[in-house]
Homo-oligomer: A and B are copies of this chain.
Amino acid sequence: METQMREIGEAAKRASYSLASLSTGVKNQALQVMAKALEDRVDMILDANKQDMEAGRAKGLSGALLDRLMLTRDRIKEMAEGLRELTGLADPVGEVIKMWSRPNKLKVGKMRVPLGVIGIIYEARPNVTVDATGLCLKAGNAVILRGGSEALHSNLALANVISTAAVSAGIPEGAIQLIPTIDREAANIMMKMNEYIDVLIPRGGSGLINAVTANATVPVLKTGVGNCHIYVEEDADLDMAQRIVINAKTQRPGVCNALETLLVHEKSAVEFLPSVAEALRDKGVELRGCPRTCEIVSDCLPAAVEDWGTEYLDLILAVKVVKDLEDAVNHIHTYGTKHSEAIITNSYQKASFFVQRVDAAAVFVNASTRFTDGHQFGFGAEIGISTQKLHARGPMGLEELTTTKFIIFGDGQVRS
């Protein structure tokens, strides 16, 4: 196993050196050929997926898991479209971010270059095989994929189709590799292949992410949970506040940038809470309130202390009346996960204070937390939303799959 993994690592590293200087045209052409190959080979891919689905049913996987595992003609078409969309995005590689002159006339510049080899560890969704590969490739990286055991046949089929297509279009061999075994040892080795892998990106639930963070010695780009808050100030436009709260809680409750706790200034509570509670109830949202909330809103369940720290990912909302802005910020720092936090206010000072003080990947004034998203921010694509602070924070697009190197041009300078 060690030997096989080392071979995979070496091949990826070798490929990464030539990938780094491929032109945008070659990469885009490869993405087109890969998309076409997916569509051409759809029957073969569906056959492979059928094996996984049957094994999954036999193993008694849940309906939700089976749904994530399942491929259809439409889903494969979507993956192909995703690859084609990447061709329209700017290539981050080669950009010289800045360049300056030193007193000794050395020219020092900072150039964007690929990270090198990216390892992706993921769970049951076979679409990650294609989506993550496309993003890594467009940013000039080789990729080593390690998918969930339930999806092995699907992943093998997909990886085979796209890597063969890529090579035929001029991408070096070894640039796209899937680990062809479900042996857990392979993942453990992968997490410590510092020599060959420059960064690991776990894609999946918090169990997977925590396991990778705990065991990897390779640096990890970590996406995380979102226990997001909206704080409604005493001077807020309450109609706007209600529209934003409803949107952030109900437009898609199962995602990390959905609202989980509503904080309301005590002076707005009596006017705001009954109305927003009714609107939320109409959308099927269960409320869990602090004692003051329960006084104001009839039939609100009392919140337990765990509620403040819970990412429900469901039609449930915790509600708390707070004394003031500072109280709200303290609550967010105590229970938040530094993902997306919003204030609704008409006060310039309060908006500034909130933006300044709240420590989170995305801090909003008068807008829904649901906008924390690579597409919504205009990045065109997204590999995930980072809640860590190193390298990348918030939605990660192509730029976050690159690093920089210093380039220094001299005419004989030596150091004295």
Q: Is A56 an interface residue (CB 8 A)?
A: no
* B17 lies within 8 A of A244 (CB): no
Contact in complex: A414, B359 (CB < 8 Å): no
* Chain B nearest CB, measured from A109 CB (Å): 9
Complex interface: stretch among A36-44, A58-66, A143-151, A398-406? A398-406
Whether A377 touches B406, Cβ cut-off 8 Å, given contacts A244-B414, A411-B366, is yes
Q: In the assembly, what is the distance between CA of A367 and CA of B104, in Å? A: 11
Stretch at the interface among A69-77, A179-187, A212-220, A316-324: A212-220
Does A412 have its Cβ within 8 Å of any Cβ on chain B?
yes
Q: Which of A214, A357, A370, A412 has the most CB of B within 10 A?
A: A412
Per-position 1/0 for A210-244, Cβ under 8 A of B: 00011001011100000000000000010010011
Write the chain B residue with the least CB distance to A388: B219
Q: Give the docked Cα–Cα distance between A395 and B110 (Å).
A: 11
Contact with B along A291-323 (1 / 0, CB 8 A): 000000000000000000000000000000000
Q: Does A21 contact B (CB under 8 A)?
A: yes
- Return the contact of A389 from the options B198, B365, B377 (Cβ within 8 A): B198
Residues of chain B lying within 8 A (CB to CB) of residue A90? none
Chain B residues with Cβ below 8 Å from A237 are: 412
Q: Tell me, yes or no, whether A32 is within 8 Å of chain B by CB.
A: no
Roughly how many angstroms separate A243 CA and B351 CA in the complex, as a whole number?
A: 58
Copies in the complex: 2
Q: Find out whether the CB atom of B412 lies under 8 angstroms from the CB atom of A243.
A: yes
Chain B residues within an 8 Å CB radius of A416: 251
> Whole-angstrom distance between the alpha carbons of A414 and B241 in the complex?
10
A214 CB contact (under 8 Å) in B217, B376, B406 = B217
| A394 touches B (CB below 8 Å) | yes
Q: Is the CB–CB distance between A393 and B403 below 8 Å?
A: yes
Instruction: Flag whether A68 is at the interface (Cβ < 8 A).
Output: no
Closest chain B residue, CB of each to CB of A329? B17
Interface flag for A207 (CB, 8 Å)? no
Minimum CB–CB distance from A361 to chain B (whole Å) comes to: 6
Q: Quick check: A199 and B390 within 8 Å, CB to CB?
A: yes
Question: Contact: B415 with A247, CB < 8 Å?
Answer: yes
Name which residue of chain B comes closest to A192, CB basis: B214
* A interface size (C-beta, 8 A): 71
Given A407-B363, A414-B370, residue A17 in contact with residue B333 (CB < 8 A): yes
Q: What 1/0 flags go to A1-40 for Cβ under 8 Å of B? A: 0000000000000001100110000000000000000000
Contacts of A169 in B (CB 8 A): none
Chain B residues within an 8 Å CB radius of A17 = 333, 357, 359
What is the bound-complex CA distance between A407 and B342, given in angstroms?
A: 10
A414 near B363 with CB under 8 A, answer no
Candidates B100, B220, B357; contact of A378 at CB < 8 Å? B100
- A189 close to chain B: CB less than 8 A: no
How far, in angstroms, from A182 to B372 measured CA to CA in the complex? 44
* Distance of A280 Cα from B80 Cα, bound (Å): 59
Query: Does A356 have its Cβ within 8 Å of any Cβ on chain B?
Result: yes
A408 to chain B: which residues have CB within 8 Å? 362-365, 367, 371
Contact with B along A95-115 (1 / 0, CB 8 A): 000001010001010010101
Q: Which 6 A-B pairs have the closest CB atoms?
A: A367-B410, A247-B414, A370-B415, A389-B403, A391-B391, A390-B391
Task: Give chain A's interface residues, CB within 8 Å of chain B.
Answer: 16-17, 20-21, 100, 102, 106, 108, 111, 113, 115-116, 194, 198-199, 213-214, 217, 219-221, 237, 240, 243-244, 246-248, 251, 333, 351, 355-357, 359-368, 370-372, 376-378, 388-391, 393-395, 403-416
29 sample A-B contacts, Cβ–Cβ < 8 Å, listed by A number: A21-B356, A102-B377, A108-B378, A111-B355, A115-B389, A219-B389, A221-B390, A240-B412, A243-B412, A244-B414, A247-B415, A251-B414, A251-B415, A351-B409, A355-B407, A359-B405, A361-B406, A363-B405, A363-B407, A364-B408, A364-B410, A365-B407, A366-B412, A367-B413, A368-B410, A368-B414, A371-B408, A393-B405, A394-B405
